[in-house]
């Protein structure tokens, strides 16, 4: 499970505001703020929901180990740009005009 510091760092890396994280995860913004500021420890299911939402936004959580725990982006900025360009190619989807069907 992630820590409040990892949550805050992941939001910064993925450019997700606290308000957007609350909307996407269904977790109250005040609960997220308390967790990030180490004022409160929410239930495990709430922390897992935050972690899952941030992972969907592109964060990878590094478990505590030899170098300590952390967070990183799933893709580098250049990879994310290339993926974005690929996703925007092709134009609008339309019905196929297949003769004889």
Question: Which CATH number does the domain housing residue 44 bear?
Answer: 1.10.260.40
32 within domain boundaries? yes
Q: What distance in Å separates the CA atoms of residue 25 and residue 32, rounded to the nearest whole number?
A: 10
What domain count does the chain have? 1
88 within domain boundaries? no
41 within domain boundaries? yes
Q: What distance in Å separates the CA atoms of residue 29 and residue 78, rounded to the nearest whole number?
A: 31
Q: What distance in Å separates the CA atoms of residue 45 and residue 54, rounded to the nearest whole number?
A: 14
Tens of pLDDT along 9-62? 999 999 899 999 999 999 999 999 999 999 999 999 999 999 999 999 989 999
Residue-level pLDDT at 36: 97
Q: What distance in Å separates the CA atoms of residue 40 and residue 76, rounded to the nearest whole number?
A: 32
Q: How many CB atoms lie within 10 A of CB 39?
A: 10
Residue span of the structural domain in which 53 resides: 4-81
Q: Is residue 89's pLDDT more than 80?
A: no
Confidence of residue 69 (pLDDT cuts 50, 70, 90): confident
**pTM of the predicted protein model:** 0.73
């Amino acid at each position: 499970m992630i820590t409040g510091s990892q949550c805050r760092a992941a939001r910064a890396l993925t450019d997700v505001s606290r308000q957007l994280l609350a909307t996407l995860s269904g977790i109250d913004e005040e609960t997220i703020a308390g967790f990030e500021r180490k004022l409160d420890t929410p239930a495990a299911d709430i922390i897992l929901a935050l972690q899952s939402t941030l992972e969907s936004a592109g964060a990878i959580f590094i478990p505590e180990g030899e170098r300590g725990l952390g967070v990183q982006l799933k893709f580098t900025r250049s990879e994310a740009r290339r993926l974005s360009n690929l996703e925007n190619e092709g134009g609008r989807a339309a019905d196929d005009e297949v003769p004889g069907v």
